[in-house]
Structures are given as C-alpha cells and as structure tokens.
Structure 1
Amino acid sequence: MKLGYVILYVPDVAKAVAFYGKAFGLDARMVAEGGAFAELKTGETALAFAEEDMVETMTGEFRRNRPDGVPAGAEIGLVVEDVAQAYWKALDAGAVGVAPPKEKPWGQVVAYVRDLNGFLVEICTAA
C-alpha cells in the first residue's frame, strides 16, 4: 500500500489552487471538469482539493477549516531547501504566520503557516 494523495476540503477549489501556486510554487496536475476537485504536482503523492459541498453529500457533515477557527488536528508538510525564503513567500501570498523558521535540535529547519482556509502548513527542510 502507498499514500496516493491528501485531500483538503475547501470552499473554493480554484482559489485554493491559485493560493498554493502563489504561496508555495505548486502547479496543478489535474483539475476536474466543473472545478470541484483538483490535484497539485507535489512529487509522487499529490495534494488535492475537493469542494466542501460535494464531499459533504458523499460523506456527511464534517468540521470545516476556517481562518478564524482553531486549526484541524492535521497538517501538510512541504519540504524545501530554504525555509526562510519559502516562509516569507507564503506570507506575502496571504498565508498567516504561526511560527517563524527555527532550527530543531536534530538539525531540521521548520516553520508553520496557515493557508487561506486556516489549514496548517509546515515548511521544512528534509529530515
């Protein structure tokens, strides 16, 4: 078994794809006809977005991510060479800073932001 993709449920797929392109330099791999689902190019495992209303009809009610709410108990981690540069690029694109870049005792540099929908994003060097 392998992890194929991670899906974030969002109110507007097109806005999420545009934000992740501007903030993190990720390009769309696939956008479904009608725009209710999209995948970004992130290596072997894709980061995907699905429209909240569409997902709710299939799975039932769930807690939506919102900028003014507490972040969900999950995050996505994006690995980069220059965490500080990526952190500031994300902030310039509208991400909200949570924790600026910091070197961990094991040598990894890590920063956290929240995306336009309030979802937590870790920006880090390779472990």
Structure 2
Amino acid sequence: MHFLKTVIYVDDVEEVLDFYFQAFGLSAHSVTENGDYGELETGTVLLAFATHPVAQSQFKQTYIRSQPKQPALGFELTLGCENVSSSYDKAVAAGAEPLSAPSQKGIHTQAYVRAIEGTLIALVSECAS
C-alpha cells in the first residue's frame, strides 16, 4: 500500500487551484470539465480539491463542511521550499492569511499561513533562508 493523494473539499475548485498556483507555484495536473474536481502536481503525491457537494453526496451524514473563517481543522499541509521568507511573502501576497512569520527551528526555517479555503500550510526549509 502507498499514499496516493490528499483531497480537500472546497467551495470553488478553480479558484483554489489558481490560488495554489499563485501562492506556491503548484500547477494543475487535471481538472474535470464541470470544475468540481482538480489535482495539483506536487512532485510526489497529488494534492486534489473537490467541491463540498461531491463530498456530501459520498459521505452524507459523516461529512462536516470546513469553513475558511472558522478555526482550522486538525491537520496541516507541509510544503518544502528553498527560501521560506520569499515563499511566505509570495503566499501572503496571493491572499494567504499570515499565521507565523519565518523563524529558525533547529536546522529548519519555517513559517505558517492559512490558504484561502482554510487549510493550514507550513512552509519549511532545511537551511536558513
């Protein structure tokens, strides 16, 4: 068994795909014709987005819709980058909510932002940036 992808449910797939391209440089791998599902190429594992109605139709009573302005759900995505400071600035300029400015944590530099759909994003480098 191996990990294939993560799917995050959102209001507007195309808007979120555009945000992830503008903020993090991740390009769309595929998008359905009706725009209710799309995938980003991350280099190893796919990051996918689908609309809330897709989730509601599959999971019915076990699905709780995330809200971008409510407290974040209990997970984060971690993106590796060469320069955490410039990546953080680019993400914030694209509309990410700044949560924690770049700082040194041992051998890592890290920062946190919240994406437009509410996902917590850690930006991490193994060297000082």
2:67 is the alignment partner of 1:66? yes
> TM-score normalised to the size of structure 1?
0.94
Residue number in structure 1 paired with 2:91: 90
Which structure 1 residue ranges, 5 or more long, are not aligned? none
The equivalent residue for 2:109 is 109
Q: Which residue of structure 1 aligns with residue 80 of structure 2? A: 79
Deviation at 1:119, TM superposition (A): 1.2
TM superposition shift of 1:66: 2.4
Deviations 1:12-48, CA, capped at 9 Å, x for gaps: 1010001001011110001112111100010120110
Query: Could you say what the CA RMSD is over the residues aligned between the two structures, in angstroms?
Result: 1.3
Question: TM-score, normalising length from structure 2?
Answer: 0.92
- Please tell me whether the aligned partners of residues 65 and 119 of structure 1 are also in contact (alpha carbons under 8 angstroms): no
Q: Match of 1:52?
A: 52
- 2:120 maps to what in 1? 120
Structure 1's consecutive aligned runs of 4 or more residues displaced over 3 angstroms after TM superposition are none
Specify the code of the residue in structure 2 equivalent to 1:73: G
Counterpart in the other structure of 1:23: 23
How much has 1:63 moved relative to structure 2?
A: 2.8
Aligned residue pairs: how many? 126
Runs (5+) with no aligned partner, structure 2: none
In the aligned structure 1, how far is the partner of 2:17 from the partner of 2:126? 24
